[in-house]
Chain A
Amino acid sequence: MSMINEITLIAVVVAIACALPGVFLVLRGATMVSDAITHTVLLGIVLAFFITQDLNSPLLMIGATLVGLATVWLIETIQRSNLVSNDAAIGIVFPLFFSIAIILITFYAGDVHLDEDAVLMGELAFAPFRRLDLWGYDLGPQSLWVMFIILIINSVFIFFFYKELKVTTFDPAFAAAIGFSPVVIHYALMTLVSLTAVGAYDSVGSILIVGFMVGPALSGYILTHSLNKMIGITVIMAIINSVSGVRLAFFFDTTIAGMIAVVTGSTTLLILIFSPKKGLFQHQISQNRARRNLNKEIEKMA
């Protein structure tokens, strides 16, 4: 398979894997959790580096995942206290973890090329070069397999806990009333978000994770009111964005992650403006219509 096809395939798999948990992040108004994780993983990498003193150790990846988990769990706990809003909880945790990492680096490792990039590849263009070899067979790019497994985990989770996710997302009070604790399902969901973000970071880099988790899910959110349809539209948008992004990047000979992010942003914005149900355009039309009707009523009365 040619390089462009492999990159396209990786992009599509990562996009869907990210978009599925992204649906629930959008619905719960916690989209920026993805941004927080892509920054706080640095703390995990730094801490693991102090233990191993080796930039190539697999422990650094594990450290990244654990701090990713700590990030989402801490955000979840702060939100649960109901003292602050969702985004404020993210705003507390993300700078705290990230700056601890920066301080540790300047204290102890100022002369080591130590940052996220050194451990997590974070470059979609390089993904086809890292291959998975088993028993002498070339099984394709390593990140394709990693993200495919994460995609399956995410799909299975949403498939089996669909009802629970739905009720805890839209009506947590009702969920609690019927004896179902939303806490477990939320923590499980956030764990998946963290796992997906760290896995995707290694394959595609940080900008794209935010784009993949937020863009397609937001498109789905604007286009429909049904959760089922929203998931479907999200997956379709994830595929459209990543395929056209990769093709355009090859056409213009530029950075792939950047191009996919631009396409994702553009399609989401277009849908936001022109959506037949909730779009800004439609909104303006119906407002004008309402005003005209109101004017007519006033004229009649006069």
Chain B
Amino acid sequence: MTKLRWFSIAILLVLISGCSTDNNTNRNDSETVSIVTTTSFLTDLVETIGGENVSVTGLMGPGVDPHDYQPSTSDITAMGEANIVIYNGLNLEERFAEVFDQLGERDVLTIVAADALDEASMLFDPEESDFQTVDPHIWFSVSRWKQVTQYIADELSAYDPDNAENYRRNAAEYLDELDELAHYVENRVEEVPEKSRYLVTAHDAFQYFGEEFNFEVVGLQGLNTRTEAGTGDISEMASFIVEKEINAVFVESSVSPRSIEALIEATNSRGHQLKNAGELYSDALGSSEDDADTYITMYRSNVDTIVSALNEN
């Protein structure tokens, strides 16, 4: 039996020595540019800008928390064949960081959406702590998302000059649509009296939204969806809600509703009526049945949910 062991080890040695130097990157040579994107927001954006000149593979589907993403074999095949990889950055796709760095060294263009923004415009985690962390949920600021659109269009044009005209035109059209969206959101938010503009959610995903449209945003957990909210967090938050007379809180499509449910119980036990006002899309787009499968419909759906819930008094 020890013979057998050495035999199998010898086979492995042969296999390994046979595979050493050949670079297996058989890049896609067809007409379209193969692009891999991480979040569903980026998938939507790149499909819009790229149009028919690109084929986009989005890694994280609807309702997937970037933290819980499990790659399937077709995902990694797409990554192996991609010309361009586009990701959010700011540690959102922490598990990919090393993989993307490696791809970058192998003739794959890597575009980081967060590179479109200058550091001064980043928001930090609101909680006091020793480690300053940049909030990665940049897609909830329409103005920043416009910068990202422009940036990606420029990068695509530089990579594929033949179709640069198309990318620029698509991007320009999309920028108009985003302006329209911003108007829509501003108008809807106006409907909510200023004193009730509180957005209470499970984790800190909506800071950029709050900053842009004058909402006070309070997250029960920090930026990390993995850590649970502690009992202290919940009772502190319950007091806050009673004091500010907030009557609606929101769950998120990609985060477990448990801690928000605990918060509702804690608040109701203090004699203050608090209701769960429905689901917001935070870390991923929704499905086409819910009419939230593009960035713009998702954003509208979120704002409609928020405004109608906070207006009901």
A residues neighboring B (CB under 8 Å): 1-6, 9, 12-13, 16, 53, 55-56, 105-106, 108-115, 117-118, 121-123, 125-126, 128-131, 133, 137-140, 144, 148, 151-152, 155, 159, 162, 228-229, 231-232, 235-236, 239, 249-250, 253-256, 258
Distance of A13 Cα from B13 Cα, bound (Å): 10
- 16 A-B residue pairings within 8 Å (CB atoms): A1-B22, A1-B24, A3-B77, A110-B222, A111-B125, A111-B224, A112-B133, A121-B95, A121-B98, A122-B95, A126-B96, A148-B12, A148-B16, A162-B2, A249-B73, A254-B73
The stretch of B3-11, B188-196, B275-283 in contact with A is: B3-11
CB of B121 closer than 8 Å to a CB of A: no
Q: Which partner residue on chain B sits nearest A205 by CB separation?
A: B70
Query: B230 to chain A: which residues have CB within 8 Å?
Result: 106
For the complex of A and B, the 4 pairs showing the least CB-CB separation, nearest first, are: A232-B1, A111-B222, A1-B19, A228-B1
Q: Other CB < 8 Å A-B pairs besides A9-B15, A113-B94, A250-B73, 7 of them?
A: A1-B19, A1-B22, A111-B127, A129-B99, A140-B20, A155-B9, A232-B1
CB of B176 closer than 8 Å to a CB of A: no
Query: A250 to chain B: which residues have CB within 8 Å?
Result: 73
Pick the contact of B1 from A4, A128, A137, A231 — CB < 8 Å? A231
Query: B22 to chain A: which residues have CB within 8 Å?
Result: 1
Q: Which partner residue on chain A sits nearest B130 by CB separation?
A: A108
Distance of A229 Cα from B2 Cα, bound (Å): 9
**Is the CB–CB distance between B2 and A228 below 8 Å?**
yes
Distance of A231 Cα from B130 Cα, bound (Å): 50
Distance of A152 Cα from B95 Cα, bound (Å): 28
CB of B79 closer than 8 Å to a CB of A: yes
Query: A133 to chain B: which residues have CB within 8 Å?
Result: 105
Taking the closest CB of chain B, its distance from the CB of A124, in whole angstroms, is: 9
Query: B97 to chain A: which residues have CB within 8 Å?
Result: 56
Pick the contact of A109 from B5, B24, B73, B129 — CB < 8 Å? B129
- What number of B residues sit within 8 Å (CB to CB) of A? 51
Distance of A232 Cα from B8 Cα, bound (Å): 10
Interface of A is mostly: helix
Taking the closest CB of chain B, its distance from the CB of A136, in whole angstroms, is: 10
Distance of A250 Cα from B75 Cα, bound (Å): 11
Taking the closest CB of chain B, its distance from the CB of A242, in whole angstroms, is: 12
Query: A113 to chain B: which residues have CB within 8 Å?
Result: 67, 91, 94, 223-224, 226
**Is the CB–CB distance between B16 and A254 below 8 Å?**
no
Which residues 248-298 of B sit at the A interface, judged by CB distance below 8 A?
none
**Is the CB–CB distance between A139 and B73 below 8 Å?**
no
Pick the contact of A125 from B71, B129, B131 — CB < 8 Å? B71
**Is the CB–CB distance between A255 and B72 below 8 Å?**
yes
B residues neighboring A (CB under 8 Å): 1-2, 4-5, 8-9, 12, 15-16, 18-24, 67, 70-77, 79-80, 91, 94-99, 102-103, 105, 125, 127, 129-131, 133, 221-224, 226-228, 230
**Is the CB–CB distance between B73 and A125 below 8 Å?**
yes
**Is the CB–CB distance between A125 and B21 below 8 Å?**
no
Query: B133 to chain A: which residues have CB within 8 Å?
Result: 111-112
Q: Which partner residue on chain A sits nearest B75 by CB separation?
A: A125
**Is the CB–CB distance between A254 and B129 below 8 Å?**
no
Pick the contact of B5 from A5, A56, A128, A231 — CB < 8 Å? A231
**Is the CB–CB distance between A239 and B94 below 8 Å?**
no
**Is the CB–CB distance between A123 and B95 below 8 Å?**
yes
Of A53, A111, A129, A162, most B-chain CB atoms within 10 Å: A111
Query: B224 to chain A: which residues have CB within 8 Å?
Result: 110-114
Distance of A112 Cα from B127 Cα, bound (Å): 11
Taking the closest CB of chain A, its distance from the CB of B110, in whole angstroms, is: 12
**Is the CB–CB distance between B2 and A3 below 8 Å?**
no
Pick the contact of A128 from B70, B80, B127 — CB < 8 Å? B80
Pick the contact of A9 from B2, B19, B72, B129 — CB < 8 Å? B19
Taking the closest CB of chain A, its distance from the CB of B224, in whole angstroms, is: 5
